[in-house]
Structure 1
């Protein structure tokens, strides 16, 4: 994102996309990582997450195909929250009734945001498998059958989920190539204030993409575009999957240690089934993450880099740091190489987790002056 053009947006949906790509300046350096570690901050989208992109795209395409009509169609969607917020925002703008079905473990902040946007919220048991009649997916399907003029956009199977991220990928390409095209450091006179003025060196392309995986639309869509001949067919993609999820391959990565619970607190990534929107062939390697390290890295992003991100962002960074630092599988090829560009997707913001204990762990007690 070199910079949004000046002008007035038509509505809130015009503020979806064109999110910033920001260099990390402290966290990778403490591990001796030499490559450029860049984060795509998707919480700058209008609804606060990467899922705003697919919500807008899926609804627009459904309208163009005559499948939904504002003021008539009831949009129903099972979600872990962020797609729901994106859809609720789009429905508020366009004039649809919206029903969101999400598991109990999802944060109170997501529910409050959904309600504020006018969506109706239905909660389902967290422990219910996807094909359990009590799950959010099966509950949404049942509601769609019972509700007149209902329509499920179905992020798990909708091709517009990964297709929306061709735009995300193009933004990344434009930002990375804009810096390298200057044949050296940008000068303050040639660069807007606070834009990168010294990127040491750059390969001129994205060498590694790191993303947490849920529906898979983000990693699949971005990777597909980045791998095209005009950018980098040799792109390495690292998929991040929480322990307890079964998305990673080989399947042996998903085996739990003796006495280990399959439950995980991290929100927005991981599933117990393979969504059709996930193209596993686009993922070069997988890495499993634990809640504790994910939350720790999220706190580091906030406190060390000033990036107000959520827990799944911490998971993506945890996977990236283990991969890139000395001793990691990607150290020799990428982590130790100046000029290599590693892009990590940060999906959402701390807005969704303000009341979560992990967010303020290790902070100083507040003081009250009498």
Structure 2
């Protein structure tokens, strides 16, 4: 079985990513549809309109806390924009791998969680739209993925595992009667060839 390649070593910081995006734009003759970097993508936050509408429909009285892992930060910021405008007391917690605590501690590190923990603070991450940042153990996230597969029949990836670990912790902190929401961001079918679900 293959082992995921570690991410977040910090070889590419924001200037290097901007440079790569510029090369991409040049190679596509600057076509507007070629969105090479989320900083350029004006749809990154509005693109989560459907998710915001779904949350509003399912929880018309609002939610007490929302948490989610951060890659480009579009999902968490897109949801938070609406939550904070309608329900300012909603506690929004952004998550990252504990081994690469760029947001929480300002340093990079190695991890194997695809799609998040990109090695620098993404431009869309607005400190006014979240209340707290937390690092979550990748090992705990992977264990929760296996548990979700065994007990709930849900095949999810490691970033979703981190989301669920944090959501459970928040629910315990807030206590009974509170509503904590997170997102299963993709399907574990993408990880069937790896070792994530090997023991599930």
TM-score, structure 2 normalization: 0.83
Residues 166-205 of structure 1: matches in 2 within 5 Å?
166-177=49-60, 204-205=61-62
Q: Is the 8 A contact 2:64 2:89 kept in 1?
A: yes
1:127 and 1:233 map into 2 onto residues whose CA distance is 35
**Aligned with 1:360: secondary structure?**
coil
Q: Is the 8 A contact 2:96 2:117 kept in 1?
A: yes
Aligned to 2:80: 223
Aligned CA distance change for structure 1 residues 150 and 279 (closer, same or farther; 3 Å): same
**Aligned with 2:22: secondary structure?**
helix
Q: 235, 239, 242: which one pairs with 2:90?
A: 235
Q: 139, 150, 154: which one pairs with 1:307?
A: 154
Aligned to 1:275: 122
Aligned to 1:63: none
Greater shift, 219-228 or 301-310, is seen at 301-310
Q: Is the 8 A contact 1:246 1:273 kept in 2?
A: no
Aligned CA distance change for structure 1 residues 143 and 210 (closer, same or farther; 3 Å): closer
CA-atom RMSD in angstroms: 2.6
For structure 2, the residue ranges without an aligned partner over 5 or more in a row are: none
Q: Is the 8 A contact 1:210 1:344 kept in 2?
A: yes
Following superposition, the deviation at residue 149 of structure 1 comes to 5.5
Following superposition, the deviation at residue 161 of structure 1 comes to 0.7
Aligned to 1:357: 195
1:126 and 1:355 map into 2 onto residues whose CA distance is 24
For structure 1, the residue ranges without an aligned partner over 5 or more in a row are: 1-103, 107-124, 178-203, 257-261, 326-330, 364-370
Count of residues in correspondence between the two structures? 194
2:46 and 2:124 map into 1 onto residues whose CA distance is 10
**Aligned with 1:308: secondary structure?**
coil
2:99 and 2:5 map into 1 onto residues whose CA distance is 15
**Aligned with 1:156: secondary structure?**
helix
Following superposition, the deviation at residue 206 of structure 1 comes to 1.1
Residues 123-272 of structure 1: matches in 2 within 5 Å?
128-131=11-14, 138-148=19-29, 150-151=31-32, 152-153=34-35, 154-177=37-60, 204-229=61-86, 232-249=87-104, 251=105, 254=106, 262-272=109-119
Q: Is the 8 A contact 2:171 2:179 kept in 1?
A: no
2:102 and 2:47 map into 1 onto residues whose CA distance is 21
Q: Is the 8 A contact 2:9 2:119 kept in 1?
A: no
**Aligned with 2:121: secondary structure?**
coil
**Hey, which of these two has a bigger chunk of strand by percent?**
1
Following superposition, the deviation at residue 147 of structure 1 comes to 3.9
Write out per-residue CA displacement over residues 244-281 of structure 1, whole angstroms, 9 at most, x where no aligned residue: 434424x3xx558xxxxx11001111122222222122
Write out per-residue CA displacement over residues 50-109 of structure 1, whole angstroms, 9 at most, x where no aligned residue: xxxxxxxxxxxxxxxxxxxxxxxxxxxxxxxxxxxxxxxxxxxxxxxxxxxxxx949xxx
2:196 and 2:179 map into 1 onto residues whose CA distance is 30
Aligned to 1:344: 182
**Aligned with 2:13: secondary structure?**
coil
TM-score, structure 1 normalization: 0.47
**Aligned with 2:59: secondary structure?**
helix
**Aligned with 1:211: secondary structure?**
strand
Following superposition, the deviation at residue 127 of structure 1 comes to 5.9
Following superposition, the deviation at residue 241 of structure 1 comes to 0.9
Q: Is the 8 A contact 1:157 1:275 kept in 2?
A: no
